[in-house]
Every structure is written in C-alpha cells, then in structure tokens.
Amino acid sequence: MPERTPKALRQAIAQHAPQLLPDFDAHWKRAIADAYDVGPVPAFMALWWGEYALARDPELDAHVQDLELRASEATDSAEAKALLEEASRIRHRVQQMEPGE
C-alpha cells in the first residue's frame, strides 16, 4: 500500500489499478477539488483506500464481488445477510491496511 495521502494513492491507482482512475478522479473533482473544507477528505481516502486494496488483489476482489452477487440473488434473507457481512468484514479489513503492506 502507498503512503496514506491522496496524491500517493492516486499514483498507486494509476500504476496498479488504472481501471479505477476515472472514477477516483471524478469523485475527487465532485467531492473534494472545489471544497473550501477539507472535512470530506478522510472519508474519501477511506473509501478509495479500500477500493484500491481490493483492486490490487484480483482474487480477493473477485471473491468480494462474488459474495455481493450471491447475496443479491439469495432468496433466504439469513443467507444474504451472512454473505454481505463476510464481504463487509473483508472491506473493513483492507481499509485498515497500512502503507507498505
């Protein structure tokens, strides 16, 4: 993982997960670039930190997408809930990764 700064994260996305770059840039421009308050930056970084962490591990990313797809198709609410909880645990875990991991 890169340094935990918007610039370093953008560079890492451009290099290792370029498919995320258009959405990252559009979100930055919409939520941060014209803001007079840097309050939204931590939430922005948390979201994209996790997205990048998943995207750089295609196997884990595919697993999370599969969990979410299976949850959306589940007819049993307990099964859907369990699948979404597992996906959420993974997303939470990757958001906690530190630079250099």
Q: Tell me the pLDDT of the chain averaged across its residues.
A: 95
Which amino acid is residue 88, in one-letter code?
S
- 101 vs 99: CA distance, rounded Å: 6
- pTM comes to 0.86
For residue 14, what pLDDT is reported?
Answer: 98
Closest by CA position to 13, among listed 47, 64, 36: 47
How does residue 35 score in pLDDT terms, banded at 50, 70 and 90? confident
